[in-house]
Amino acid sequence: MISYLDPSAQQFLNALGGVFQRMTQAQLQLTSGKKLNVVSDAPDSVSPLLQARARLADNHQTQANLGLVKTEVDTAETSLESAVSLAEHVRTWGAQAANGLNSAATQTTLANQITGALQQIVSIANTSVDGRFLFSGDSDQTQPYSFDATQPVPTGAYQGSAATRQVRDPDGSTFSVAKSAQEIFDSSDPTRSVFGSITALTNAVASNDPTAIATVLPNVSTALTYLNQQLAFYGNVQTRVASVVSSAANGNVTWKSEISSLEDADATAAVLQLNTASTDYNAGLASRAKIPQKSLFDYLG
């Protein structure tokens, strides 16, 4: 493009344009509250800003997931506390039934109490939150157990699946947050099976068989110990989840601060730049106006 301006005029316009750009940029920062509005404002900050935003979004998703997990874990822990209490009652009733001095009516009452406790523990195994069965493993839409006291195995077969669910920590690691009802209550090991040991005790007490009661009662005690270990697992998960929730909250503060440092405008600095640029702009116009202007006739005269 051919310029018909003399070099000094072109230089003045270029300088004035630069000052006007500073004014515009400062005004935009004050209006938007951002110092980075387009890529050209700070090209080197774009990549770190996008990374910080991605980390913040990831942190928010982790927090949302952990909110659901916390509710489920808290409910599971409370439910297992109730199961432990019921199993302790069963052990006490079994010890009462084992003394050999009870009447048939008393034995029947104790058997019914033990059966009732077993039914309540099965209900605990079927605990759900927001339509999800907590102890069904990965098949959380399927109720893990049913109960029918008339059947040889009143709890029936486990209908869920293994629990493989993992939760991700903001630091990138993962940890397990659940166990299946089969793992907790229905182990194939008779010394760990809450359902199996209580069912066997119920049958022994109902039959008023002191020898059978004495044989199966130790399994109730060891199963209770095992059940307490499962309760401890959920207690540990509660602690871990609380720690991760806290870590995610701290991460939000960190990444929000990082984003702010990269894109938020410094209002004081922007006002100062606007005032300085405005002063320079007006001074430039005033100075230019004082320069004598000559026409062709000045040279011809």
Give the residue extent of every domain in the chain.
Answer: 50-258
Q: Per-residue pLDDT averaged across 131-152, rounded?
A: 95
Predicted pLDDT at 162: 96
Highest mean pLDDT among 115-119, 174-178, 292-296: 115-119
What phi and psi, each to the nearest 5 degrees, are found at residue 76? -60, -45
Q: Which two tokens stand for residue 210?
A: 């002191």
Predicted pLDDT at 92: 97
Helices (H) and strands (E) in the chain, counts: 8, 4
* Domain 50-258: CATH superfamily, name plus number: f41 fragment of flagellin, N-terminal domain (1.20.1330.10)
Q: Per-residue pLDDT averaged across 32-57, rounded?
A: 65
Query: For the chain, percent helix, then strand, then coil, each to nearest 5?
Result: 70, 5, 30
Are the C-beta atoms of 148 and 154 separated by less than 8 Å? yes
52 compared with 15, residue with greater pLDDT: 52
pLDDT at 193 over 60: yes
CB-count burial class (<10 Å; 0-12, 13-18, 19+) for 258: middle
pLDDT tens string 97-107? 998 888 999 99
43 compared with 42, residue with greater pLDDT: 43
- The overall pTM is greater than 0.85: no
What phi and psi, each to the nearest 5 degrees, are found at residue 154? -65, -20
Any idea of the CA torsion for 163, 178, 158, 107, to the nearest 10 degrees? 160
Q: Cα 79–80–84 angle (5° rounding)?
A: 125
Distance CA 225, CA 70 (A): 25
